[in-house]
Chain A
């Protein structure tokens, strides 16, 4: 998956959690929780959706990396870029 594809999947997962929010308009460096009004339950649901979709188990210590859309794309693209 390239960065654009990862970004689309992340936006889709966010849309499923906050259907009424304009997720496609979220700036890439804006705090997702502040912008989309995600509480801790929503954020955990997002991390679980990432786990189920990308097969990546994000440890709690890495949560700060998922706080922005850009951060999510960087974090979730990394495994693909490592591959030869």
Chain B
């Protein structure tokens, strides 16, 4: 485990409903409108940050007033092995569809070295999704001047027990890294919110 003054909390989140909803939604959609799980994760993160705003680094407007804006830094792995944090601005105001489109474009630009200056602005929170590398849990590091970061691992099939019955279904491990001043209680609430909203994907 990393040794610093950060707090690390992990939760296993069942994705049966989210996967089913995605499959059904995408069957009705044209390719440019299709969704992928990372867009649901990003939307869930904005819900989590709304419930626990202490995790989002504060931003101010031109008059020095707090804005509450969420600029999500998305860690994009390039094929060379290097990674870049590309920023998805004002994520708290975006729908799942909008987040998906912006994410798809951002990743395309990052991997073809076409990022714009605005894509490299300062994020207020970062998200790492290493599922495609086969990693089950990610322990993210907190960027300079940030308060927290969340990592999502690979979506895997795993048995879970509910009501005395063992069932197999897709799950993901979400790991929160936060400055210790945030406290375990708030950190746990952030992960609980992500879990809760992913159980109702149609309402995301």
Contact = CB atoms under 8 A, between A and B. Distances in A.
B79 A37 contact: yes
A46 B78 CA distance: 17
Given A42-B111, A45-B104, A51 B27 contact: no
B79 A20 contact: yes
Contacts of A51: 30-32
Contacts of A18: 79, 111
Interface residues of B, number: 20
A44 B79 contact: no
Interface residues of A, number: 22
Contacts of A45: 104, 107-108
Chain A interface, >50% SS class: helix
Interface in B92-118: 103-104, 107-108, 111-113
Contacts of B113: 19
B23 to A, nearest CB: 8
A51 B34 CA distance: 12
Interface in B10-27: 23, 26-27
Given A16-B112, A51-B32, A41 B104 contact: yes
Nearest to B113: A19
A8 to B, nearest CB: 19
B135 interface: no
A60 B26 contact: yes
B102 to A, nearest CB: 12
Interface in A7-57: 16-21, 37, 39-42, 44-45, 47-48, 50-52, 57
Nearest to B38: A41
Contacts of A21: 79
Given A41-B104, A48-B32, A51-B31, 19 more contacts: A18-B111, A19-B112, A19-B113, A20-B79, A20-B80, A21-B79, A37-B79, A40-B36, A40-B132, A41-B36, A41-B107, A42-B107, A42-B111, A45-B108, A47-B31, A48-B31, A50-B31, A51-B30, A60-B23
